[in-house]
Amino acid sequence: MTADVKRQSDFPTWRELAIGSAVVYSGSARALKTGDWASSHPVWHYVGEATGCIQCGLCTVYCPEGCIAVKTIDETGYDLALLERRPASGITPGSLVPAANLDYCKGCGICVRECPTRCIEMVAEEL
């Protein structure tokens, strides 16, 4: 409940809404963090694991939200702590990896379904 109240306060009051609730500036979709809806998010298994990511990029194509990008690990903002729990991943700073932007990932799991090496797994959100 507390988290919800805090989030509400980030939204405009009724007086602050533009007439007819119009959005009068561009790029507004960015402000709608659809990642709020997710109950789980994708995690990639990497080289050295039983089935590893071959960096084919198909997940980035199939993602309906367009929120998966193949980037160097340093750019992704990827959860390095999570990777550290996977010592066999072979990931080092500078490696190219796919990662979902969790601000927008709705947790649909389509990437898991489409991955040719079955290297993606959905991990439940922590409460």
Partner 1 sequence: MGKRIGMEASIAVAETVALCDVDVIAAYPITPQTHIVEHLSEIVADGELDAEFIPVESEHSAMSSCVGSSAAGARTFTATASQGLVLMHEINYIASALRLPIVMCVVDRSLSGPISIWNDHSDIMSERDTGWIQTFAENAQEAVDLTLHSFRVAEDLGVLLPVTFNLDGFILSHMIEPVILPEREEVERYLPNYEPKIRLDVDQPLTMGPVGVPAIYTEAKFAQEMALRDALPVIEKAWDEFEELFGRRYHPIETYRLEGADVALVTMGSIGETAMTYVDQARDAGIKVGLIRIRLWRPFPKKAFLEATKGIKGLAIVDRCASLGGVGGPVALELKGALYNQDHRPRVVEFQVGLGGRDVPVQDFDRMVQSTLAVIAGGPLPEPRFLQVRE
The residue ranges that bind partner 1 (CB under 8 A) are: 7-8, 11-15, 17-26, 28, 32
Task: Closer to partner 1 by CB, 18 or 82: give it.
Answer: 18
Q: By the 8 A CB rule, do 53 and 47 touch?
A: yes
Least separation in angstroms between CB 57 and partner 1: 30
Amino acid at position 91, single letter: I
Task: Closer to partner 1 by CB, 21 or 92: give it.
Answer: 21
Least separation in angstroms between CB 2 and partner 1: 15
Task: Closer to partner 1 by CB, 17 or 56: give it.
Answer: 17
Least separation in angstroms between CB 109 and partner 1: 23
Q: By the 8 A CB rule, do 35 and 104 touch?
A: yes
Task: Closer to partner 1 by CB, 96 or 108: give it.
Answer: 108
Whole-number Cα distances in Å, 124 to 8, 24, 86: 24, 36, 17
CA 56, CA 121: separation in Å to the nearest integer? 16
DSSP notation for 47-93:
TTSSS------HHHHH-TT--EEEEEHHHHT--HHHHHT-GGG---T
Least separation in angstroms between CB 122 and partner 1: 24
